[in-house]
């Protein structure tokens, strides 16, 4: 049994609440585009969400304001802490957590395979292949971690014709 279900517009976390959520770039917020790299929504399937407390996300050192991959719940440096990377890191919002395929069917859903997905709390109304979730989500997530939750399971099963859940503010 999964802890969370994302249906394309809402991330429903059993016992914790429902959160607006969006996946995919404008023009590609359609379940039919889920295998389109860097533009389509996260492919359907089952994902693990490891809940390991982290600190601030870090630049990967390549000199192009790219955050290094992480398997922890992290805050995203913003403002003066982000320095010249602020315009890029603002696209992430303030928090992120990685989601990883939980089974072979999810890992091989698309060819070529897609990976490197996160839940993050920006408010721009689109993502480059992650799930943008409303900002209140991470407060609930961190509270669950304090109560001892160490991992969650997320099922993505699109039920409508859009993956735009109205997260743009």
Q: How confident is the model over 88-132, as pLDDT tens digits? A: 999 999 999 999 999 999 999 999 999 999 999 999 999 988 999
Q: Give the domain ranges of the chain.
A: 4-156
Question: Which helix H or strand E contains 120, and what residues bound it?
Answer: strand 117-120
- Residue pair 67/59 in contact (Cβ under 8 Å)? The answer is yes
pLDDT at 1: 80
Mean predicted lDDT score pLDDT of the chain: 97
Alpha helices per DSSP H over 115-163: 137-146
Q: How confident is the model over 57-83, as pLDDT tens digits? A: 999 999 999 999 999 999 999 999 999
Cβ neighbours of residue 92 under 8 Å, at least 6 residues apart?
57, 67, 76, 118, 120, 122
pTM (global) more than 0.75? yes
Structure-derived torsion over alpha carbons of residues 83, 84, 86, 87, reported in degrees to the nearest 10: 170
pLDDT at 129: 87
Cis-peptide into 112, omega within 30 deg = yes
Residue 93 CA to residue 52 CA, distance in Å, equals 19
One-character DSSP codes across 21-67:
EE-S-TT--SGGGTTSTTTSPPPSEEEEEE--EEEE--B-SSSS--B
Structure-derived torsion over alpha carbons of residues 114, 87, 68, 25, reported in degrees to the nearest 10: -10
Task: Judge whether residue 45 has pLDDT over 90.
Answer: yes
pLDDT at 17: 98
């Amino acid at each position: 049994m999964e802890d969370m279900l994302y249906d394309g517009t809402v991330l429903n976390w059993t016992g914790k609440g429902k959160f607006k959520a969006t996946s995919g770039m404008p023009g590609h917020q359609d379940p039919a585009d889920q295998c389109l790299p860097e533009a389509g929504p996260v492919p359907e399937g089952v994902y693990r969400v490891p809940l390991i407390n982290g600190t601030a996300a870090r630049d990967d050192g390549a000199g192009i304001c790219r955050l290094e991959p992480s398997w922890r719940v992290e805050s995203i440096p913003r403002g003066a802490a982000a320095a010249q990377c602020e315009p890029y890191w603002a696209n992430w919002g303030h928090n992120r957590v990685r989601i990883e395929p939980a089974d072979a069917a999810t890992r091989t859903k698309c060819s070529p395979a897609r990976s490197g997905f996160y839940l993050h709390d920006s408010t721009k109304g689109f993502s480059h292949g992650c799930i943008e979730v409303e900002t209140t989500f991470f407060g609930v997530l961190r509270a669950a971690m304090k109560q001892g939750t160490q991992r969650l399971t997320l099922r993505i099963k699109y039920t409508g014709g859009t993956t735009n859940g109205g997260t743009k503010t």
